[in-house]
Homo-oligomer: A and B are copies of this chain.
């Protein structure tokens, strides 16, 4: 149950369209629900503004569908990430109105109420074409939890004018998510240009001494631009959640 649904419920109680008893029943639903393989935290939406997100890696399609059903029953909608093709297909056939994004490997079922929209725009910037799946995960996630999102694609520092020619878009964002593999240098350059929060996402794009994303991860953690923060390698989801925390504050 999201904060919005509780707020609207309370409003309806206040104006008499819902009886206190009915509201009580609604609110009294167990905040924790135990499956054989999962403990669902229905309280999270109320506490943190978004329902629990289903992380698909390491879960069977069957497990994912069952968790999704429990979440959907409460009309909160759900977001699932890191889905296998099989899991995507199972969700697509089970839930009407679900939005599947193959590049991002996500599935999103909107809830009854839209989440409140954040104050500004989250700008997702990618250094190269190969970083797009991570960017897409960020874009879907940020949208799902209530944010306007824009993208700036393939503007890595090897051709710095590609970035500098887009300063307007950079300077109008509320939060910038910078997604880059290899040398991760884009985060430092953008961090030095803008005033707003910058969240860097290293990607596993690259080979050899990129070590599956360690090179950009370390570069970003050591960014010479002050105040850049970092999330896990390929973690477009986490960057979007962090950006949304900022944008909704």
Return chain B residues, CB-CB under 8 Å to A127: 224
Let me know if A154 and B218 touch, CB within 8 A. Answer: no
* Chain B residues, Cβ within 8 Å of A198: 245
Return A45 CB to nearest CB of chain B, in Å.
Answer: 11
Please count how many residues in chain A sit with their CB below 8 Å of the partner chain's CB atoms: 101
Instruction: Check A226 against B158 for contact (C-beta < 8 Å).
Output: yes
Alpha-carbon distance A223/B242, docked complex (angstroms): 12
Contact stretch, chosen from A20-28, A50-58, A87-95, A105-113: A50-58
A216 interface residue, CB < 8 Å from B? Answer: yes
Any chain B CB within 8 A of the CB of A228? yes
Task: Kindly identify, within residues 6 to 57 of chain A, every residue whose CB is under 8 Å from any CB belonging to chain B.
Answer: 31-32, 34, 36-39, 41, 43-44, 47-49, 52-53, 55, 57
Of A31, A198, A202, A207, chain B has the most CB atoms within 10 Å of the CB of A207
If A48-B192, A185-B189, A229-B242 are given as contacts, then 11 extra A-B residue pairs at C-beta distance below 8 Å, sorted by A number, are A59-B129, A127-B224, A128-B224, A157-B188, A174-B249, A183-B223, A196-B245, A208-B235, A221-B233, A226-B238, A246-B249
